[in-house]
Chain A
Amino acid sequence: MTGAVTGAVTGAVKELGRIVRVFPALLKVGLAEAIAYRAEFVVWMLTTTLPLVMLALWSAVAREAPVGRFGEAEFTAYFLGALVVRTLTGSWVVWEMNQEIRTGTLSMRLLRPIHPFVAYAGEHLAAIPMRAAIALPAVFVMVALVGGERFTRDPRLLALAPLALAGAWAITFLAMLVIGSLGLFIQKSVALFEVWLGLFAVLSGYLVPLELLPPWLRAVSAWLPFRYMLGFPVEVLVGLATPAQAVAGLAAQAAWALGLAVLAAVVWRAGLRRFEAHGG
């Protein structure tokens, strides 16, 4: 009994050690790919700048009169925050998984002695520094121009902000894995992804800060993961959340991440069984 437990633990530790050793190589490849895809990258940057559009829109509205506790300056801080969060946490593994399933290159991935989820995670985390290098200076300039005082100075919130960002990345990435794994059952899980993106836009605070939504919609958003992918980390960055709310939000993020990780593993395993029975 103890032997089995010790064995499992050493096995897990060994596996973890391997992952740690593989990670630098995965990061290197991810970075090289991000650089090789320069053109796509620009397109991606343009599509991710939706918060800037919303910023202009809402600032114009707030110039007449503040909306709730949002004046022009608050809107500016909020949407710049949204741009930062989206830049650092966006993930599109669904596209990749879908294509690999349809073309059968998934087979090649399955024959490598590394779990595909680990490989995807490495490749995608690697794109973040590149994105940050391009997006963040622009944001800093804008913040300096419009006045940075709207971003939080509270050291407690500043300490929690990286955790909130990591949580947002994990939830986004794991949700992508769930939808991507569904591709093993239905031919185009990308269609499902479009629906997901639509819900995200409304219920995450991407288009409108959540507290400005009608009460019933806000209540709905509280029970869904989208808020924890964007609205919540932005609120922490901008100082719209109290430290107590931030801690509660982190706990909710952890719960969502855990739930999605389990779901992703279950869907993937079931999907693979189908794949192995019917061929890829």
Chain B
Amino acid sequence: MPTEPAIEVAELSKEYRVHRRAPGTRATLRSIFRRQYETVQAVSGLSFRVAAGERIGFLGPNGAGKTTTLKVLAGLLHPTSGSVRVVGHEPRRRERAFLERITLVMGQKQQLLWDLPPADTFALNRAVYDVPQARFDETMAELTELLALESIMYKPTRQLSLGERMRCELATALLHRPQVLFLDEPTIGLDVTMQATMREFIRSYNERHGATVLLTSHYMADVAALCPRVIVIGQGRLLHDGALDALVRRLAPEKLVDLKLLRPVDAADLARFGTVVEHGDARVVLRVAQAELRDAVAGVLAALPVADLTVTDPPLEDVMQRLFSSAP
């Protein structure tokens, strides 16, 4: 068993110098002679470690530094300061041995050759990554089955739907059996069924090959379903590193109690059990502090004409919203 962490990030900072220009022709002309720059701090003092085989959700609002961090980890960007190691390599050197062990999938950028069927890209990648034919056939068979590629891999890429293309994109990225997967928005733009398919696939790849997965996603459902551990960053800083439910408990020490009623109830009768979030004739939602949940549920059942009762966590989106708005 390897004892070395798959990913090790220590005090990573990355800043960009961005060319700044006001709108308008005059400003454009002026900028030819005197360029004004502004330094943007994309990531600052970020540290975390990931063990081999972990699935990590990487969360944060737009511009939080998620993609920058992934690009640094993949070796596309050089850190301004701090150190990064991935499977024992320094990513910025982009050594062959390193590139053969990682993959980066960006939902917005593609590797597939646009005018040719995906099968041609697969064959090219086999050669580029020097994958032995027998192992290629085996991997290809596995990917074909799990991602249902059979009917799409011989059509020109430009004729594929977004979902079909993403499936092939993922297959392309995994043909060399990387040990570390950096997935940046792998499900963006996909419908709910397709998202679920991709999620299942990522999980099964991780389990079959013990690969480490670091994934960013806008869809909380992706993260909740896939990642036992989440790393949350905001404005380039670490806000949370740990289990998802711990985060939810910490940030939202309240539960939602969803009631189906046999007949309408007055607001006043509801308010003594918790905060009323929704109030309809047949359905009511109450927000109740974690500590008072037991008493509240018992009281509701005893005092109100309840047909059905469920207790849930507040939606992850709300929790995240709260986390980001509380960030310094």
Contact = CB atoms under 8 A, between A and B. Distances in A.
Interface residues of A, number: 28
A142 interface: no
A277 interface: yes
A113 B74 CA distance: 13
Contacts of A24: 127
Nearest to A118: B128
A186 interface: no
Interface string B277-314: 00000000000000000000000000000000000000
* Most chain B CB inside 10 Å of its own CB: which residue of A26, A32, A37, A103: A32
A111 B123 CA distance: 17
A279 B123 contact: no
B109 interface: yes
Interface string B72-103: 00111110000000000000101010011011
A187 to B, nearest CB: 11
Contacts of B245: none
A22 B128 CA distance: 6
B199 interface: no
Given A37-B115, A112-B99, A276 B129 contact: no
A25 B94 contact: no
B116 A33 contact: yes
B113 A33 contact: yes
A280 B76 contact: yes
A18 interface: yes
B218 interface: no
A95 to B, nearest CB: 14
A105 B109 contact: yes
Contacts of B99: 111-113
B128 A36 contact: no
Contact of B126 (A25, A32, A104, A113): A25
A260 to B, nearest CB: 25
Chain B contact patch, size range: 20 to 34
B17 interface: yes
A25 B156 CA distance: 18
A25 B124 contact: yes
Contacts of B111: 108
Greatest chain A CB density within 10 A among B76, B99, B106, B115 is at B76
A121 to B, nearest CB: 14
Contacts of B127: 21-22, 24-26
Contacts of A276: 76-78, 92
Interface string A109-147: 011111000010000000000000000000000000000
A36 B110 contact: no
Interface in B149-176: 156
Contacts of A104: 109
A278 interface: yes
Given A18-B130, A107-B76, A279-B68, A29 B120 contact: yes
Contacts of B17: 278
Given A21-B127, A25-B127, A280-B76, A107 B71 contact: yes
Given A278-B16, A279-B16, 7 more contacts: A29-B124, A103-B109, A107-B71, A107-B76, A107-B106, A110-B76, A111-B74
24 contacts: A21-B130, A25-B123, A25-B124, A25-B126, A28-B123, A28-B124, A29-B116, A29-B124, A32-B116, A33-B113, A36-B116, A107-B71, A108-B104, A108-B111, A111-B94, A111-B99, A111-B104, A112-B125, A113-B128, A276-B76, A277-B16, A277-B78, A279-B77, A280-B76
Interface of A: 18, 21-22, 24-26, 28-29, 32-33, 36-37, 103-105, 107-108, 110-114, 119, 276-280
Those 5 A-B pairs whose CB atoms lie nearest each other, nearest first: A25-B127, A36-B115, A113-B99, A113-B96, A276-B78
